[in-house]
Structure 1
Amino acid sequence: MDDVSKLMRRHTYLTKASMSLTYGILVSIAVNFFWDPGHIYSSGVTGFAQLLNTISSRAFPFTISTGLGLFLLNIPLFFLAWRAIGHEFTIFTVITVFLSSFMIQLLHPVPLTHDPIICAIFGGAVNGFGTGLALKNSISTGGLDILGIVIRQRTGKSIGTINMAFNALIVIAAGFAYGWPYAFYSVLSLIVNARVMDMTFTKQQRMQVMIITNRPNTVIDSVQNHLRRGITIVHNAEGAYRHDAKTILFTVISRYEMNELEEALLESDPNAFASISDSVKILGRFYEPKP
């Protein structure tokens, strides 16, 4: 068993390392092929690194490149992650940020087009896809991700307001640096980035599940063997057509767990009826795996 465990862990590490490299390549393509030629700013720390690059090239005798700025800005967050989140998480975050910075430096800008709308859309799409892949493999891309995890762990609250304020400052900076139309182009890129990231990374999307079955114990055992989810049981339900006894089960899962839920239902009760809908808001405790 120890050999199998070591092999599985090694496979996980290799997968994460390859996804870190993939993300680094994709974010460098977004920055060098689309955002920089189109004068578009990204969100978060990457956008702040672009802003530093613009300011230093205009006001300082030296230029802080986007790749170097990205790594330097993340250094204090690495220490925070090491102390507050975990060592393995921090190590892979450092690897991901380093590879991103290195690839941004390595790939020289290739202006496929200077059209700001095209650059905003495709830059946001490429970066959103890369970020979604990284998050799907439990890899942090650094920046505000780290701050968000720490605040959520300690307070149970998200940093949505901080995130929005930070990105608003970057958008305003884009307006001052290149003109106000470019501020709106940067907003367009942020929207595309978020949309593509949500399409790629589905773990944070909550789904409410209602299962109607006449084999509740079997279904509950199967679902809880596949998923770490609580289930609420409603007894004494009745089918309107045949008036046979039914039991209703309620649970909430992430969209990422849909395949596991389907497998559990097929194993336990292929005739079960399940209704699944998007959950708008959840109050109370919802289990999330630690990063």
Structure 2
Amino acid sequence: MKFITFDNAGKPALGVQYRDAVIEVARLGPQFPASMASLIEADRDILPAIAQACAAAPEHLRLTAATLTLLPPISNPGKIICVGLNYADHLSEAKVGEAPAFPGLFHKVPSSLAAHGAALLRPATSCQLDFEGELAIVIGRSCKRVPAERALEHVFGYTIVNDGSVRDYQLNKALAAGKNFDSSGACGPCIVTAEDLPPGARGLHLQTRLNGQVMQDGNTDQMIFDVASIIALVSDIHGLNPGDIISTGTCSGVGAARTPPIWLEPGDEIEVEIEGIGVLANSVRQEGE
């Protein structure tokens, strides 16, 4: 199942994609959650109940997806944890040596990630805004020091992150600075429940396109640390809770590694597509304009 968060008269609403339409989950009945956070925290038995209710829903509850304004899938996640240099081909193009024994980790703040369909902002202080298409894990059950063989039990689903990176700040000032400019990246368009993808989201085609041209073309099988390993390693540091997001890193093809470098410009259209999840699409706008 695919769930979205959309704007409903100025308030976030939980929607489920059903066939070629979207249905607001709360309108299916008072027993159903009204927010993504409530859905993620609910018992998994709620999912087949929602599917059954959708099948019986009257026509007037079915909304046209193209008319909706999407919001980030999770309004205010407790943690957004990102893994750096987690694909061997990206490790090579970054020229940083051998694969690490422990993943590089950093955090993003929610304001750094725009919704699907919203504009990415090229900051006024830099012209080096880059793209990174990534698979992201959405935690569904709390865990602390969970072993890798049990880690997937704690996954609610998966979404897409464009880990927008302001490279001159990232490389010359501070990693966290370059990764956290307002609306420099994006998250969405939906969360796909784990049951609807291969275990650990393995074998999924990932592609990033800039103005229709393919820039990144990879597969989640190429990750150095897979989904289960990432959850185990991160949960050894601090507990993970429902709604936490872990972005799993990007494959080769980023703009900074090209000769000459390719940076996102105002007016550009950037898309990240992951098999089984969908397409995260954003335009680029200059900050302040």
Verify same fold: TM over 0.5: no
Comparing both chains, which one has the higher relative contact order based on Cα–Cα distances under 8 Å and sequence gaps of 6 or more? 2
Please state which band the TM-score falls in when normalised by the shorter chain: under 0.3
Give 1 or 2: higher helix fraction: 1
Q: Which has the larger radius of gyration?
A: 1
- TM-score (normalised: structure 2): 0.23
Q: State TM-score, norm by structure 1.
A: 0.23
